[in-house]
């Protein structure tokens, strides 16, 4: 009996738990699975990042990066399915036995590829998440993001001033996240810790200048002649507990703020 082959495609904008579920179902159904990562230049997250994230998340799957600038929906061109059939066959020239999808297009895609269609959670009841919801509010859907994607969306908070190290540790504990303290190779340390964060990375007197913080917290009042940073900042005052309360309030506001156009999120 010959090995079975499966196929699915997606924009993975960004990759999330729903995609994980789709791929897990598909690769348990067939001997060999090919995933087409489809990206075009006008989309909000660069295609090379999405392909890299998918490669890290699914090292045991045959991933193919599809970058053809062709119609994205059937209403854009009367020969939509013919164009996509030819494009897919250029990228995946071997036999396809099964097509997997959670969207309505799966039936037609399987038909044009001469394969059997396997719908996977089309009602989105098993894993109720979407890329659109994540892009609108990534902090709310943090747990739905695949680990390689999280550094792209995390918010960075810099703590500066007297006692910054101890204060940053306490603040990180309050938000159940990690703290980057001063030390050697801060860029490498930040890149490593970014995978372990819970939405926020707290940085104490550290962090490469090429990655500005989303928020600065100063543990003391301004000194004479000290310039304010260009990024959002807050100066803390009062007792230690009061300053921690003020810092927590500022971080909560940062988490609640919607992603801005031209986001400052820095991908690794």
- Where are the domains positioned within the chain? 5-134, 154-256
pLDDT of 266: 36
Question: Alpha helix locations (H) across 128-232?
Answer: 131-136, 150-153, 164-174, 186-193
pLDDT of 189: 84
Does residue 228 have a pLDDT over 80? no
> How many CA atoms lie within 13 Å of 224's alpha carbon, on the beta-carbon side?
0
Which two tokens mark 30?
A: 């067939």
Does residue 121 have a pLDDT over 50? yes
Share of the chain above pLDDT 90, in %: 78
Backbone angles phi, psi at 267, to 5 degrees: -75, 150
From CA 166, how far away is CA 181, in angstroms rounded? 9
CATH superfamily of 154-256: P-loop containing nucleotide triphosphate hydrolases (3.40.50.300)
pLDDT of 47: 97
Which two tokens mark 37?
A: 């990562």
- What's the angle, vertex CA 200, arms to CA 199 and CA 204, rounded to 5? 165
| Mean pLDDT score, 72-96 | 96
Q: How confident is the model at residue 212 (pLDDT cuts 50, 70, 90)?
A: confident
Radius of gyration of the chain (CA): 23
Q: Which CATH fold would you assign to the domain 5-134? A: Rossmann fold (3.40.50)
Q: What is the pTM of this model?
A: 0.88
Q: How confident is the model at residue 263 (pLDDT cuts 50, 70, 90)?
A: very low
């Amino acid at each position: 009996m010959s090995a079975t082959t499966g196929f699915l495609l997606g924009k993975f904008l960004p990759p999330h738990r729903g995609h994980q579920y789709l791929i897990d179902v598909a690769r348990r159904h067939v001997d060999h699975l090919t995933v087409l990562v489809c990206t075009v230049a006008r989309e909000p997250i660069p295609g090379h990042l999405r392909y890299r994230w998918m490669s890290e998340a699914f090292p045991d799957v045959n991933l193919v990066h599809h970058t053809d600038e062709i119609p994205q929906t059937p209403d854009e061109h009367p020969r939509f399915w013919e164009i996509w059939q030819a494009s897919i066959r250029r990228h995946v020239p071997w036999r396809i036995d099964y097509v997997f999808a959670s969207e309505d297009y799966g039936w037609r895609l399987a038909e044009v590829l001469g394969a059997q269609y396997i719908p996977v959670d089309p009602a989105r009841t098993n894993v109720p998440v979407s890329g659109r919801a994540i892009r609108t509010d990534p902090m709310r859907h943090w747990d739905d993001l695949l680990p390689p994607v999280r550094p792209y969306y995390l918010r960075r908070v810099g703590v500066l001033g007297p006692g910054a190290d101890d204060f940053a540790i306490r603040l990180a504990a309050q938000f159940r996240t990690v703290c980057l303290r001063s030390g050697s190779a801060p860029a490498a340390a930040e890149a490593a810790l970014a995978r372990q964060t819970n939405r926020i990375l707290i940085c104490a007197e550290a962090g490469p200048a090429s990655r500005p913080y989303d928020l600065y917290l100063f543990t003391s009042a301004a000194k004479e002649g000290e310039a304010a940073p260009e990024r959002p900042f807050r100066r803390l005052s009062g007792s230690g507990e009061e300053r921690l309360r003020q810092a927590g309030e500022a971080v909560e506001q940062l988490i609640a703020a919607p992603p801005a156009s031209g986001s400052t999120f820095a991908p690794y």
